[in-house]
Structure 1
Amino acid sequence: MNTKPHFDFLRQFFNSYECPVIEESSHHLKVQLTSQMDEEIMNRPFYWHYMKKMNRPGDPMRLTFTHTDHAQDGGIFLHAGTPKLHTIYQTAMEKGKTARLYEVIQQPIQNGALTPWLVINLLLHYRGKQTKDEPLSFGLNLIHGTLIKGMMECLDGHDFDRKVSDYCFPMTPVINLKSAYSRIEKFVENYTTTLDDSWIKDSLHQLEEEKSLLDSFYASEDIGLDQFTQEREQLDTRYRPRFSIEVINGGIFYMSQQTSQHLLMKKQP
């Protein structure tokens, strides 16, 4: 079994959250957890509750992962079904929902001001006779409110870090997050009105046909009132056309003036 992708993921995950890898070989990986990470993935709530009550720092655990089933020194056998691996995947997904990232500036610049952008990735769900999901990403400049559609594609090739580069400083947003998100939400609502509505008409037509057929069954007493009512509700759920928005993740990305101007010239909705 090739476990290298699992080891690569764990190494990147723990490095991202400042949990140092203290030992590594071709067959094992040993990591020192931080207190916060221990709380999140080790399922020791009573221990950490006691430590906090006693105002003590606590003793974060070390984890050893191995790709052999003869785990040594309490090592965790790493494979696709490893419970601890799935716990870490879930933690990564939860942490990955929000982020505050700063563009990596390789060369010091005289004006190191970094412009804040609200970046949102979402899925637009279409439900009706046919169903589909459309991924969308947006970036809204929190200084002057310019909105860019397809933001993730625009950011391709740009490096970001959780720390501010030397000689740089983040600008204070002029537009608050609630207002910025409302603007993106309003744009998505307007966007749906520009789409081809043939799928809506097809769905409503199919719904009416199915309801007529069900009515005929009920009129001929082939089904009772309870079943009729239940199936009418199911038909509505299955065929009535509707949109819904699911936010996948988002965050504030601080970018140099040069990058911000480049994005504005490159792509706008």
Structure 2
Amino acid sequence: MNGGEVARFVVSFLEQTGCRIIERSPSHVVVKLSPEADRALTNRPFYWSFVDRTGAEPETMTFAWHFEPPGTPASSAPGASAPAASSSASAGSAGTVPASSPAALSGPAVPGYSFASDAAGTGIAAAIAGTTALPLPGGRVLTEYLHFGSARLHQIFDYVRQRGRNVLLFAEPPRGARSADPFSRAYTAWLGVNFKVAFECDMKREDLYSWGISLATGVIDENFGERLKACKLTARLSPEIRLLMSTLKPRKGMARLEAHLERKLRRGDFSWAVEAEERRREELERVSHYYRQLIGRADSEEQRRTLEERLKDREAEIDRQFRPRMTVTVINCGIFHFPGID
């Protein structure tokens, strides 16, 4: 993922979790986290336990996330300004935070991060590109550089993966006047599933299948992933649409998709498995020939038993490595409502 892809993903995450975006540019975003995002990202269990027990108004943390390394044209674009931050951000040093502040409850400072204060009088852009900016009310901003492989981005990935395994979404109805067709707003449910098929031996290949099945008609769409990309989805049910009854339950739809995938895989090319089995047998013969010679020349019964145990361990290791196998896993799934009956 490049900086632009990371930025789009992070901004989408912030919007979906209800965070307040204070400032945004192609290369950075300044955001005040929502309680949901703060609980997921800041590792402050004691603070949130205190809030839950006392009912106090939560004070969430504010971050400045940069998607391009300092010094690049994107990060030093003219006119880019942001809330107050410590000038030590570009050097990756951590400032001090008052012990009474919520940020102080998040644990020890991490190298590469910095807390800002009102007294600094400089902006995040000043720390990155040498410009000045107005201070942010509240004054404390944690500055981080998000890139593919960074700990914070993987933290967001993990949260999205856990919370996004099952979704319920609706295709947004077209804007404009109501259609004369009374059935134009009738929506039917689809079960969409992302399957991952792993072909494993001493080598490995993974195929992804994004399929969907209509819970109204039972029709299976093998290009369901492209259909999802082509429409805008929302978690809100519009009052203009009505949902038609489904004839299939999601469990039954999943069973049909699994059966369809199994039939497709059975029709596939298994030459890779035949070749892997041949390599497995050759390796077993080679190892067996080597150890049998050593066992025949063993000086004692104890040495012979030791060599036989090593041979069994080596054969088991070869079997695990070379034996061909296929593994099917479900990455995520969801119920999607689309207009019409397909």
Identity among equivalent pairs (%): 21
Structure 1 residue 47, shift from structure 2 partner: 2.7
Structure-2 residue corresponding to 1:40:
40
Cα–Cα, structure 1 residues 168 and 78, in superposed 2: closer, same or farther, change >3 Å?
same
Structure-2 residue corresponding to 1:170:
243
Residues 11-55 of structure 1 show CA distances to partners (whole Å, capped at 9, x for unaligned) of 22211222121334687533232222222112122332333344x
> How far apart in 2 are the matches of 1:91 and 1:26?
24
> How far apart in 2 are the matches of 1:7 and 1:101?
23
Structure 1 residue 180, shift from structure 2 partner: 1.9
Deviates further, 84-93 or 20-29: 20-29
Structure-2 residue corresponding to 1:266:
none
Structure-1 residue corresponding to 2:329:
246
Q: Normalization by structure 1: what TM-score?
A: 0.83
Equivalent residues in 2 for 1:69-148 (5 A)?
Answer: 69-70=89-90, 72=116, 73-80=140-147, 82-107=150-175, 108-109=178-179, 110-111=182-183, 112-148=185-221
> How far apart in 1 are the matches of 2:167 and 2:262?
25
Q: 2:223 aligns with which of 125, 150, 154?
A: 150
Letter in 2 for 1:251: G
Structure 1 residue 129, shift from structure 2 partner: 4.8
Deviates further, 207-216 or 2-11: 2-11
Letter in 1 for 2:279: Q
Q: Which of structures 1 and 2 has the bigger CA Rg?
A: 2
Consecutive unaligned residues in structure 2, runs of 5 or more = 71-88, 91-113, 117-139, 296-305
Consecutive unaligned residues in structure 1, runs of 5 or more = 262-269
Cα–Cα, structure 1 residues 169 and 22, in superposed 2: closer, same or farther, change >3 Å?
farther
Cα–Cα, structure 1 residues 23 and 187, in superposed 2: closer, same or farther, change >3 Å?
same
Structure-2 residue corresponding to 1:9:
9
CA contact (8 A) 1:121 1:138 kept: yes
Q: Secondary structure at the match of 1:216?
A: helix
Letter in 1 for 2:212: G
Residues 59-94 of structure 1 show CA distances to partners (whole Å, capped at 9, x for unaligned) of 140322154634533332324265433322322333
Cα–Cα, structure 1 residues 193 and 5, in superposed 2: closer, same or farther, change >3 Å?
closer
Equivalent residues in 2 for 1:175-254 (5 A)?
Answer: 175-221=248-294, 224-254=307-337
Count of residue pairs the alignment pairs up: 257
Cα–Cα, structure 1 residues 57 and 146, in superposed 2: closer, same or farther, change >3 Å?
farther
